[in-house]
């Protein structure tokens, strides 16, 4: 299981702030997890088509090739706009 | 032989809904520290639109990622301390619903000389805007919308790369 979190506009689009999910067969990185979630269809397909979507694993910003494994906290969110 | 004293340094980051007192924060960072010769501070405010195409803002709500936001700010402060001679750094970022004119963010950098204080203050703001997980949602009479990230902010952060 991994804990996912969704923030800001993505959270609203998905209608979810996060969930506990089981990684699909062979899913071992951010790109794989995005594809797994996007395969649910709308509105989750946004995870595949949103090019500038950011991700963090265990609260560190990562790119699509970052490893994801059981027990991780994985967050997806739009580019940040603080300050 | 000259003796070298180890300079104590203070640094702290806070993510909070409450307003902050700039004067009190500066007083705290310099209290009892005679080696501080320069304090640079930056305050970011919620700005209302002033151009003809701007829609009047009624409020702005800031969302963040509890835990990661604080860690990201700590990391940015650590990078600043590695680059410049700093004796104190303070970062406060507010969250929740704010009105035009409200202060959102405070960065204070204290150093022996102004060059390091100015540079660190600007570096921390440029990195905060592109690395710290905060998101702004604007409310206007016509509805609300999430603020889009600006390419200019990425460019501002990018100029610090060597």
pLDDT tens digit string along B47-74?
Answer: 887 666 666 888 999 999 999 999 999 9
> Using CA atoms, how far apart are residues B36 and B30, in angstroms rounded to an integer?
7
B19 within domain boundaries = yes
Range of the domain at B51: 10-157
Neighboring chain A residues of B131 at a CB cutoff of 8 Å: 61, 80
CA B122 to chain centre: 9
Residue B19 near residue B104, CB atoms below 8 Å:
no
Residue B76 near residue B12, CB atoms below 8 Å:
no
Neighboring chain A residues of B44 at a CB cutoff of 8 Å: 83
Number of domains within chain B: 1
A28 within domain boundaries = yes
A83 within domain boundaries = no
> Using CA atoms, how far apart are residues B142 and A23, in angstroms rounded to an integer?
41
Query: Are B63 and A8 inside 8 Å of each other by CB?
Result: yes
pLDDT in tens, A39-69: 999 999 999 988 899 999 999 999 999 999 9
Mean per-residue pLDDT of chain B = 91
Write the CATH number for A13: 3.10.20.30
Nearest to A81 among B68, B72, B135 (CB): B135
Range of the domain at A24: 2-77
For a pLDDT cut of 90, what percent of chain B falls above it? 77
CA B74 to chain centre: 11
pLDDT in tens, B5-35: 444 567 799 999 999 999 999 999 999 899 9
Number of domains within chain A: 1
Largest CA distance in chain B: 70
Write the CATH number for B108: 3.90.1170.40
> Using CA atoms, how far apart are residues B162 and B154, in angstroms rounded to an integer?
15
Nearest CA in chain A to B135: A81
Query: Are B146 and A8 inside 8 Å of each other by CB?
Result: yes
Does residue B142 register a pLDDT over 90?
no
A69 within domain boundaries = yes
Residue A66 near residue A30, CB atoms below 8 Å:
yes
A82 within domain boundaries = no
B48 within domain boundaries = yes
């Amino acid at each position: 299981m991994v804990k996912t979190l969704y923030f800001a506009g993505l959270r609203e689009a998905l209608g979810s702030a996060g969930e506990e999910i089981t990684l699909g067969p062979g899913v071992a990185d951010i790109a794989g997890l995005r594809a797994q979630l996007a395969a649910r269809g709308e509105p989750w397909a946004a995870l595949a088509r949103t090019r500038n979507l950011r991700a963090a694993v265990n609260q560190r910003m990562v790119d699509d090739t970052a490893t994801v494994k059981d027990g991780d906290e994985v967050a997806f969110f739009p580019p940040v706009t603080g300050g | 032989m000259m003796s070298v004293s180890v300079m104590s340094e203070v640094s702290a980051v806070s993510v909070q809904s409450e307003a902050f007192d700039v004067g009190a924060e500066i007083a705290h960072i310099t209290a009892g520290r005679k080696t501080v010769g320069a304090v640079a501070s930056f305050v970011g405010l919620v700005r209302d639109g002033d151009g003809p195409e701007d829609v009047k803002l009624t409020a702005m709500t800031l969302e963040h990622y509890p835990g990661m936001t604080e860690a990201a700010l700590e990391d940015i402060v650590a990078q600043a301390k590695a680059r410049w001679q700093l004796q104190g750094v303070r970062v406060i970022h507010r969250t929740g619903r704010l009105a035009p004119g409200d202060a959102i963010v405070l960065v204070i950098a204290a150093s022996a000389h102004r060059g390091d204080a100015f540079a660190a203050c600007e570096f921390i703001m440029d990195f905060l805007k592109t690395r710290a997980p905060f998101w702004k949602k604007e409310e206007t009479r016509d509805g609300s919308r999430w603020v889009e990230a600006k390419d200019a902010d990425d460019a501002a952060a990018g100029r610090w790369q060597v």
